[in-house]
């Protein structure tokens, strides 16, 4: 499940990046390369369509992010503290790691 959501997240991030770059800005962005699409999208051109599409893709991106967070949180319900042994044994000094000693000159 999480791998499917992760693939969808990657695809949505690429699509939203392209949709944002195609929108008209002061520098025109990549929209200069899209040609004249007025007949397909109406008199305003693709700008109204791209703005709506960007909003929808952004909304799907946020929903997918929340779903990924829920899945990963539900999977990892263990804490790092659970890895600590529960018995209170004292480790003998012979089993403790020893730091290397620097040679004396």
Among 43-47, 48-52, 76-80, the least confident range: 43-47
Which segments of the chain does DSSP mark as H helices, in order?
Answer: 2-22, 38-41, 47-75
Residue 37 is predicted with a pLDDT of 47
Q: What is the pLDDT of residues 85-102, one digit of tens each?
A: 666 666 677 777 788 888
Residue (of 38, 56, 59) closest to 47 by Cα position = 38
Residue 38 is predicted with a pLDDT of 47
Domain extent listing, the chain: 2-25+34-76
| pTM, 2 dp | 0.55
Vertex 15: Cα angle to 12 and 21 (nearest 5) = 140
Residue (of 79, 24, 82) closest to 54 by Cα position = 24
């Amino acid at each position: 499940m999480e791998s499917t959501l992760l693939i969808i997240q990657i695809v949505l991030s690429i699509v939203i990046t392209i949709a944002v770059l195609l929108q008209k800005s002061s520098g025109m962005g990549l929209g200069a390369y899209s040609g004249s699409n007025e007949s397909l999208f109406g008199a305003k051109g693709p700008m109204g369509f791209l703005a709506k599409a960007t909003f929808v893709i952004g909304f799907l991106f946020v929903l997918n992010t929340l779903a990924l967070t829920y899945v990963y949180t539900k999977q990892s319900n263990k804490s790092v503290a659970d890895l600590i042994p529960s018995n209170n044994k004292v480790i003998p000094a012979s089993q403790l790691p020893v730091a290397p000693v620097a040679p004396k000159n």
